[in-house]
């Protein structure tokens, strides 16, 4: 069995060399750590992860407190700013962090001091507000509150509670006075000492802030008010200085702190992946010589380079390369062609699977057929130009996570223009160019051109036959690749021949308007009969000679008979299903023609036509996309595709604005 594009490596090394091993691996390229059954706790690795986590927490707090953020724009005509951190290893990363840690700590200390000052300011302002009823009185605070028989209470309440408290005080015979204060009210209540407890109990259900004299405040009312005002002004000045410092630092370090936050998060995640993939080994009965084992996937060329460097640069290390056969279903490498990989990621990603190692990759076909089918259903030169330009804008100007959609949209636009050329339509208007004759015109003198309709239906059926033939061929290939040779030759291959022969024979009948010459179809009639017979008896015969199955040949014959009948019905419905290409092609043309009929109202129809064309592009594009998915998912993939594979998932060294590069120098 031939090998894959990916190699599994197992590295056995002294625990003390853990960081150096990881440095070399990250310097060489994309690798995917394999989780260990019993991950070991490597102290040095744990310390690195903790340090990165602590620093990430510090930067996250600064980002949240100072409202620093990065929002990727949907479209941007300016290349987004990107920071590249080039380091030789993790130790250099720690040096950078330690260098920045003091500065970050200073900023955090200022933020913390600001929070404390703001709390103090709130308390002082509350106290000043509560003392406002005594403003202008030449009296001591103790003379107000330290009375033997009289109890004075001053408290702040929300205006929503004002009426309720007032009713309670009136009902219980308390003397009081109310002073307005913005959204609050200040109550000055006087009562006998013996009724103080009663007053406190009545006020318990409400959220109130009560004035409490402190030793810090001068005893005289005038001096106390002056003291509070001066203290408030001093704190405001101090807060202003802190804000100036933080705002200046924010302007200077805006993207740097975002970069540090993202970089530490990326590196911490990478080290956590490696930590979950390392197992501890011991030599003999002694625990003095401690070894660790790390397993990971890497592309073949990178794997060889990693092995060579590790053995050259690190002592007492052993590297084993395990060539992966397709039977092990190793991960696949992504396509190096951006356009190809983008279309595959969209279509196969929505299907929810990726071709296994022994499955034929349908991406080569899908990258052509998917936009081709869409273009058929959406055939119009003008609409195709709109999609093409929109795709280019998304591909090169949109946020990174949307760019793969741009590739697909661009291809859809190209094929829409191609089929628009075949129909001779530009925004629903027939093109009249001397010498140019559309292949599938849908309108002639404002009426339906039946010749174009028949051609569209015929072409859609031909496309369906070719598409299904490819799917059935892939099924045979996949079964052979999986080692299921007998079922492939005894069942799937005869069904493929039966379908192709059946299409040719039916195409030569009057029901199909004899689109295939009878003399060409005549030799296929015995092939059709033989393939049907082989489908019926192939597996039962193989079972009879002991090549496959433990069941009796008779039960297998019943099963193959039912399968043949169901296959005939399925082939018929699948093939007819492709006529939806022509149907949507015709509907699209009729809708655009209907919208263009508004031009009969003159120049006033321009907004209506523009809105109608835009609506058709959005609505029809959506429906055509859904039908395109259906044809691929239900008619094509269901014949052969199992999607048991996956792509290699290398450790991620790139974020929204940060890219980390491990270099050798």
Tokens of 452: 């174009």
Query: Residue 449 pairs with which residues in a beta bridge?
Result: none
Q: Give the C-alpha separation, 633 to 492, whole Å.
A: 19
| Single pTM value for the model | 0.77
DSSP 6: E
* Cβ contact 326:27 at 8 Å: no
Q: Which residue has the higher pLDDT, 287 or 647?
A: 647
Give pairs for 193-197: CB < 8 Å, separation 24+.
Answer: 193/147, 193/148, 193/149, 193/150, 193/151, 195/151, 196/151, 196/153
- Span 650-660, mean pLDDT? 88
* Cβ contact 176:155 at 8 Å: no
Is pLDDT above 50 for 1? no
* Cβ contact 300:6 at 8 Å: yes
- Span 451-464, mean pLDDT? 87
* Cβ contact 33:270 at 8 Å: no
Please report the sign of the dihedral spanned by the C-alpha atoms of residue 96, residue 102, residue 105, residue 110: negative
Q: Give the C-alpha separation, 480 to 359, whole Å.
A: 10
If pLDDT is split at 50, 70 and 90, which confidence band does 375 have? very high
- Lowest mean per-residue pLDDT among 251-255, 293-297, 328-332: 328-332
In sequence order, which residues have a C-beta less than 8 Å from that of residue 64 and are 6 or more positions away?
none
Q: Which residues of 135-147 are buried (b: 16+ CB within 10 A; e: fewer)?
A: eeeeeebeebeee
Please report the sign of the dihedral spanned by the C-alpha atoms of residue 415, residue 419, residue 425, residue 427: negative
Q: Which residue has the higher pLDDT, 431 or 165?
A: 165
CA distances from 149 to 143, 175, 176, 230, 584 (A): 12, 15, 17, 34, 94
Q: Give the C-alpha separation, 495 to 314, whole Å.
A: 59
pLDDT at 554: 67
- Lowest mean per-residue pLDDT among 55-64, 257-266, 562-571, 574-583: 562-571
Burial of 592 (0-12, 13-18, 19+ CB in 10 A): buried
Is pLDDT above 60 for 2? no
Q: What is the pLDDT of residues 69-97, one digit of tens each?
A: 877 666 665 655 678 888 889 888 888 88
Please work out, in degrees rounded to the nearest 5, the angle formed at the alpha carbon of residue 614 by the alpha carbons of 612 and 619: 90
pLDDT at 436: 76
What is the number of other CB atoms lying within 10 angstroms of the CB of residue 265?
Answer: 18
If pLDDT is split at 50, 70 and 90, which confidence band does 476 have? very high
Which CATH entry fits the domain spanning 140-219: 3.30.70.20, 3.30.499.10, 3.90.550.10, 3.30.70.120?
Answer: 3.30.70.120
If pLDDT is split at 50, 70 and 90, which confidence band does 432 have? confident
What values do phi and psi take at 612, rounded to 5? -65, -45
If pLDDT is split at 50, 70 and 90, which confidence band does 141 have? confident
- Span 321-340, mean pLDDT? 77
- Span 45-71, mean pLDDT? 90
pLDDT at 464: 92
Q: Provide the Cα torsion 288, 289, 295, 299; round to 10°.
A: 150
Nearest to 6 by CA among 663, 461, 591, 645: 645
Give pairs for 284-293: CB < 8 Å, separation 24+.
Answer: 289/14, 290/14, 290/15, 291/12, 291/13, 291/14, 291/15, 292/12, 292/13, 292/14, 292/15, 292/18, 292/40, 292/42, 293/10, 293/11, 293/12, 293/36
If pLDDT is split at 50, 70 and 90, which confidence band does 9 have? very high
- Span 606-616, mean pLDDT? 86
* Cβ contact 508:518 at 8 Å: yes
Which percentage of the chain shows pLDDT scores above 90?
29
DSSP for 477-518 reads HHHHHTT-HHHIIIIIHHHHHHHHHHHHHHHTSGGGTT-S-H
Q: What is the pLDDT of residues 292-301, one digit of tens each?
A: 999 999 999 9
Q: Which residue has the higher pLDDT, 177 or 139?
A: 177
pLDDT at 286: 47
pLDDT at 22: 93
- Span 346-366, mean pLDDT? 83
Q: Give the C-alpha separation, 228 to 236, whole Å.
A: 12
* Cβ contact 114:121 at 8 Å: no
Identify the three-state secondary structure at position 664.
coil
Q: What is the pLDDT of residues 292-325, one digit of tens each?
A: 999 999 999 999 999 999 999 988 899 999 887 7
Q: What is the pLDDT of residues 410-420, one digit of tens each?
A: 999 999 999 99
- Lowest mean per-residue pLDDT among 225-229, 510-514, 533-537: 510-514
HSE-CB for 102 with a 13 A CA cutoff: 4
Is pLDDT above 80 for 64? yes
Domain boundaries, the chain: 3-98+249-328, 140-219, 338-640
* Cβ contact 278:44 at 8 Å: no
What is the chain's mean pLDDT, rounded? Answer: 85
- Lowest mean per-residue pLDDT among 76-80, 156-160, 454-458, 501-505: 76-80
DSSP 75: B
Identify the three-state secondary structure at position 101.
helix
Rg (CA), the chain: 39
pLDDT at 446: 62
pLDDT at 234: 94
pLDDT at 352: 76
Identify the three-state secondary structure at position 187.
strand
């Amino acid at each position: 069995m031939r090998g894959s594009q990916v190699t599994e490596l197992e590295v056995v090394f002294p625990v003390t060399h853990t960081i150096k091993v990881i440095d070399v691996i990250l310097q060489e390229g994309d690798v995917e750590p394999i989780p260990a059954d019993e991950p070991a706790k490597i102290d040095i690795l744990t310390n690195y992860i903790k340090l990165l986590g602590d620093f990430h927490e510090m930067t996250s707090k600064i980002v949240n407190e100072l409202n620093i953020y990065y929002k990727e724009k949907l479209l941007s005509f300016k290349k987004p700013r990107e920071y590249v951190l080039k380091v030789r290893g993790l130790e250099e990363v720690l040096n950078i962090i330690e260098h920045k840690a003091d500065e970050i700590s200073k900023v955090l200390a200022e933020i913390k001091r600001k929070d404390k000052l703001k709390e103090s300011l709130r308390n002082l302002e509350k106290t000043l507000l509560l003392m406002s009823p005594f403003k202008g009185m030449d009296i001591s605070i103790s003379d107000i509150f330290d009375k033997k028989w009289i109890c004075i209470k001053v408290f702040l309440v929300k205006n929503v509670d004002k009426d309720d408290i007032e009713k309670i005080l009136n009902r219980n015979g308390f003397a009081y006075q109310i002073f307005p204060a913005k959204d609050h009210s200040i109550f000055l209540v006087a009562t006998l000492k013996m009724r103080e407890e009663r007053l406190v109990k009545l006020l318990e259900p409400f959220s109130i802030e009560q004035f409490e004299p402190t030793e810090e405040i001068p005893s005289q009312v005038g001096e106390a008010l002056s003291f509070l005002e001066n203290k408030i002004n001093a704190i405001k000045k101090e807060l202003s200085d802190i804000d100036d410092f933080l705002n200046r630092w924010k302007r200077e370090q805006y993207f740097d702190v975002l970069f540090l936050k993202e970089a530490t998060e990326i590196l911490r995640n990478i080290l956590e992946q490696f930590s979950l993939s390392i197992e501890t080994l011991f030599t003999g009965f002694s625990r003095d010589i401690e070894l660790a084992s790390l397993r990971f996937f890497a592309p073949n060329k990178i794997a060889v380079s990693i092995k060579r460097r590790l053995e050259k640069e690190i002592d007492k290390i052993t590297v084993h390369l395990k060539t992966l056969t397709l039977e092990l279903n190793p991960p696949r490498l992504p396509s190096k062609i951006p356009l190809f990989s983008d279309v595959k990621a969209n279509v196969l990603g929505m299907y929810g699977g990726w071709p296994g190692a022994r499955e034929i990759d349908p991406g080569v076909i899908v990258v052509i057929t998917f936009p081709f089918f869409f273009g058929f259903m959406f055939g119009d030169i003008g609409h195709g130009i709109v999609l093409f330009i929109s795709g280019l804008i998304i591909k090169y100007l949109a946020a990174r996570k949307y760019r793969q959609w741009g590739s697909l949209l661009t291809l859809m636009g190209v094929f829409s223009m191609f089929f628009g050329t075949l129909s001779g339509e530009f925004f629903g208007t027939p093109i009249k160019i001397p010498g140019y004759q559309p292949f599938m015109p849908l309108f002639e003198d404002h009426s339906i051109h039946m010749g174009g309709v028949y051609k569209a239906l015929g072409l859609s059926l031909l496309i369906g036959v070719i598409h299904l033939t490819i799917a059935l061929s892939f099924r045979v290939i996949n079964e052979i690749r999986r080692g299921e040779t007998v079922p492939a030759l005894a069942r799937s291959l005869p069904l493929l021949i039966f379908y192709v022969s059946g299409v040719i024979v039916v195409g030569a009948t009057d029901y199909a308007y004899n689109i295939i010459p009878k003399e060409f179809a005549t030799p296929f009639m015995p092939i059709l009969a033989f393939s049907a017979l082989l489908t019926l008896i192939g597996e039962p015969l193989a079972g009879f000679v002991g090549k496959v199955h433990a069941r009796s040949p008779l039960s297998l014959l019943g099963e193959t008979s039912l399968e043949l009948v169901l296959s005939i019905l399925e082939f018929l419905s699948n093939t007819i299903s492709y006529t939806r290409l022509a149907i949507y092609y015709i509907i699209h043309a009729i809708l655009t023609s209907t919208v263009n009929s508004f031009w009969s109202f003159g120049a006033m129809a321009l907004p209506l036509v523009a809105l109608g064309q835009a609506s058709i592009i959005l609505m029809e594009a959506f429906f055509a996309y859904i039908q395109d998915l259906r044809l691929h998912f239900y008619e094509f993939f269901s014949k052969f595709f199992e999607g048991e594979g996956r792509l290699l998932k290398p450790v991620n060294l790139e974020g929204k604005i940060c890219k980390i590069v491990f270099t050798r120098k």
